[in-house]
Structure 1
Amino acid sequence: MAPDPEAAGNRDVVPAPRYFTWDEVAERSGREKERWLVIDRKVYNITEFVRRHPGGSRVISHYAGQDATDAFMAFHLNKNLVRKYMNSLLIGELSPEQPSSEPTKNEELIKDFRELYTTVERAGFMKPKHIFFFLYLLHILLMDVAAWLTLYWFGTSWVPFLICAVLLSAVQAQAGWLQHDFGHLSVFSTTSWNHLLHHFVIGHLKGAPASWWNHMHFQHHAKPNCYRKDPDINMHPLLFALGKILSVELGKEKKKYMPYNHQHKYFFLIGPPALMPLYFQWYIFYFVVQRKKWVDLAWMSTFYIRIILTYMPLLGLKGFLALFFTFRFLESNWFVWVTQMNHIPMHIDHDRNQDWVTTQLQATCNVHQSFFNDWFSGHLNFQIEHHLFPMMPRHNYHKVAPLVQSLCAKHGVEYKSKSLLSAFADIVYSLKESGQLWLDAYLDH
């Protein structure tokens, strides 16, 4: 039978792309229906893929029905490789008459930010200095050794005991900032090396699971200070009434899980001193067992085996437990004040599907640069730059900061920076203010 020339020609015809509107994409955002998102005007169906997403199902689901272009750029190291895997999810693209960003967003700001991102890459600000991170790791290891030598040489009386505890708390805090670098893939050009060192620092040096950090932290970056999408504000409303909008909502709904008008006082009791020793210490084990993260559990075990074998012979069981919970208590205070000074005083709300730049700037503020502030906070005093460019090596934040300030000035977006003590004080002031707003709304409705 002779081949049909018309049929043969049809095999070479490329099917016409399907076109969608922003309204059609926005309709696919709920859990009970299909989930779509847009990247560079291309529309992807992520309904089934969310369960296989390497970064976790929640972080990608937070952008269902929305434009995820800038989030995609921010979170993926090898973007071209990822795009190849995304081809199987591609279902069409935006209609030519549709704007590149959702109509409710500031398209000029988005355009200028994407141009800034290109400028930053060309300037080499996304390239790490490996010697910086090597020396940073070395100073952590030296403090770790110095802590043990303090007890070994000077005995276990209260003075060397306290010095040892302070050194170990510094080790834990600084290792926390360093694992943050590896977790964000900002140290090596390949994900495998970043993942390996991430496991070493957070698992062996801190005794925590890398998968737990990834699960929590990337959601925070995707939608910072967005209620029900940012795990870092999940303490609202069980413990604290956060932000002006959410606090008033709680009051109007007559909800009173805690005496929120006193939260700026009980924050000092159940906030900074308690997070690590009373909550994280048991929850991380629950997380790895419940999710069967056995590789993480193995790395964590090396931390506890090492610290028990090195300190229990010097201190005995009771002394070891006292030391362990003392440095966890100090680390907890350090961690909470630093991580919350950039976010708790800022805008907290439901997800309003704003553009990437506005979302990050409303939820973050900076603390002035100094050698101490950089070291004490692991360069997270540059929280704005870190949130806009989460894969940028931290030693380059100060270089890009003037460019970000210029972008903000051009578009009338506030760029906040304050002193370290003011940032700490603003945590308490904001808790007091939101607590009073809750009380006023509670009594008036």
Structure 2
Amino acid sequence: MADTANPSTAHHRSIDAVSSFTALTEQVRAAGLLRRRYGYYWSKLIGLPLAILGLLAVFVWVGDTWWQLFTAVGLGILFAQVAFLGHDAAHRQIFVSGRANDWASLIIGDLFIGMSYGWWRHKHARHHANPNKEGTDPDIDLPIIAVTPDRARAARSPLTRWAMSHQGAFFFPILTLEGVSLHASSVRRVLSRDHVERRSWEIALLAIRLGGFAALAFVVLSPLTAAVFLVVELAVFGVYMGSSFAPNHKGMPMVPASLKLDFLRRQTEMSRNIHGSRLLDVAMGGLNYQIEHHLFPSMPRPHLRRAAVIVRAHCEAHGIRYTSTGLLASYAIVIRYINRVGLGERDPFDCPLVAQRRAI
């Protein structure tokens, strides 16, 4: 391979890659896109909790009726929007102080969503470091869906192999369980013997959120209605969260653990943007600008749209693949990809850099 045969060439390419990203960063900073947006975030930090409390007040006032299933849908949507806010705080987008961002994430995540901030931060940091890298990115090691061909080939029983070969058809129905999975993983993490910062706080806040919310449902509603109410809320929350995160990397190139890539290419070529209106930006919590978010994780969400124009132009000028597609098209890509993986096909969406190095 050329890079290993000529260390000097590899060294110069590494320097060029660093220089390219440095130039991009300076351009983004000069445009003012790394500055804080306190007004935007304070309006959400105040508005979203008030909206949840207001809807809960309506829930108590309306009382025991099947119409409360509409309240469950509304709460599932609001909880997802609050989760996006917690994601922003965890990435240091809201405050300058890391401590302030940590506490904001802790309160938002554990108290309002019922998801352990410590567990999610540990998992999400590993994803950001190596998106779509086999053996490293935890987001491609899913318990049910096979995202890599090796995982699909490891299936033993005929039933499992059949399910994986049709997993695209089951993808959205499975997302209804994502909310349960997030809650269960959080509880398991804070009760484990692993090191957990602020364990007492996390346990207390999770207990209030999960226990208190369930208790409120059964106090206000009859047992059957309460059970269905909780199922609907969890299903809406899970589908909303999964539908927002799934298009970002699924179906983008997978790279082997041995491949070394510079930061700009690693974050750009393994991510997909979803273009659309500003309404889509709100609905997806800014996650539709996944490329810009991975390149500049601490960039406030309202700046991502403008940053996308700069980043795309830079990538085109330097021959770096920049992927952007519509929302429905992205879901079609994801479903097609996981179906092909389930059938055991190798590298259905091969990374151009991998193919190039294999050919050398």
Is 1:139 aligned to residue 51 of structure 2?
Answer: no
1:51-130 → structure 2 map (5 Å cutoff) = 103=11, 105-130=13-38
Aligned with 1:103: secondary structure?
A: helix
Correspondence for 2:353 = none
Correspondence for 2:169 = 265
1:39-438 → structure 2 map (5 Å cutoff) = 103=11, 105-159=13-67, 161-235=68-142, 239-242=144-147, 246-247=148-149, 255-257=154-156, 258-259=160-161, 260-269=164-173, 271-277=174-180, 279-290=181-192, 291=194, 293-308=199-214, 310-351=216-257, 352-438=259-345
Correspondence for 2:351 = none
Paired with 1:129 and 1:196, the residues of 2 have a C-alpha distance of 18
Q: CA deviation at 1:103?
A: 3.5
Aligned with 1:126: secondary structure?
A: coil
Aligned with 2:175: secondary structure?
A: coil
Q: CA deviation at 1:316?
A: 4.5
Aligned with 2:92: secondary structure?
A: coil
Task: Output one character per residue of 1:60-79: Cα deviation in whole Å (capped at 9) or x when no partner.
Answer: xxxxxxxxxxxxxxxxxxxx
Q: Which structure carries more relative contact order (alpha carbon 8 Å, separation 6+)?
A: 2
**Structure 1: unaligned runs, 5 residues or longer:** 1-21, 24-97
Q: CA deviation at 1:327?
A: 0.7
Paired with 2:144 and 2:84, the residues of 1 have a C-alpha distance of 26
Q: CA deviation at 1:412?
A: 1.3
Q: CA deviation at 1:347?
A: 0.8
Instruction: State the one-letter code of the partner of 1:322.
Output: V
Paired with 1:239 and 1:388, the residues of 2 have a C-alpha distance of 29
**Structure 2: unaligned runs, 5 residues or longer:** 349-360
Q: Which moved more, 1:328-337 or 1:303-312?
A: 303-312
Counterparts in 2 of 1:298 and 1:250: CA distance versus 1, 3 Å = closer
CA contact (8 A) 1:126 1:393 kept: yes
Counterparts in 2 of 1:117 and 1:440: CA distance versus 1, 3 Å = closer
Counterparts in 2 of 1:231 and 1:105: CA distance versus 1, 3 Å = farther
Paired with 1:125 and 1:305, the residues of 2 have a C-alpha distance of 41
Instruction: State the one-letter code of the partner of 1:222.
Output: A
Aligned with 2:249: secondary structure?
A: coil
TM-score (norm 2): 0.84
CA contact (8 A) 1:143 1:167 kept: no
CA contact (8 A) 1:175 1:201 kept: yes
Identity of aligned residues (%): 24
CA contact (8 A) 2:274 2:289 kept: yes
Paired with 2:39 and 2:82, the residues of 1 have a C-alpha distance of 16
Point out the structure with max Rg over C-alpha: 1
TM-score (norm 1): 0.69
Q: CA deviation at 1:208?
A: 1.6
Instruction: State the one-letter code of the partner of 1:284.
Output: S
Aligned with 1:185: secondary structure?
A: coil
Correspondence for 2:355 = none
Task: Output one character per residue of 1:174-230: Cα deviation in whole Å (capped at 9) or x when no partner.
Answer: 011000011001110110111111111001111121110111000000001111211
Q: CA deviation at 1:408?
A: 0.7
Q: CA deviation at 1:300?
A: 1.5
CA contact (8 A) 2:63 2:221 kept: no
RMSD of aligned C-alpha atoms? 2.6
Q: CA deviation at 1:426?
A: 1.6
Q: CA deviation at 1:104?
A: 8.8
Structure showing the higher helix proportion among its residues: 2
Aligned with 2:221: secondary structure?
A: helix
Paired with 1:395 and 1:440, the residues of 2 have a C-alpha distance of 35
Q: How many residues align?
A: 334
Counterparts in 2 of 1:256 and 1:152: CA distance versus 1, 3 Å = closer
Task: Output one character per residue of 1:146-179: Cα deviation in whole Å (capped at 9) or x when no partner.
Answer: 42233334333222x1221011101210011000
Counterparts in 2 of 1:189 and 1:440: CA distance versus 1, 3 Å = closer
Paired with 2:320 and 2:242, the residues of 1 have a C-alpha distance of 27
Counterparts in 2 of 1:194 and 1:102: CA distance versus 1, 3 Å = farther
Counterparts in 2 of 1:429 and 1:105: CA distance versus 1, 3 Å = farther
Counterparts in 2 of 1:314 and 1:239: CA distance versus 1, 3 Å = closer
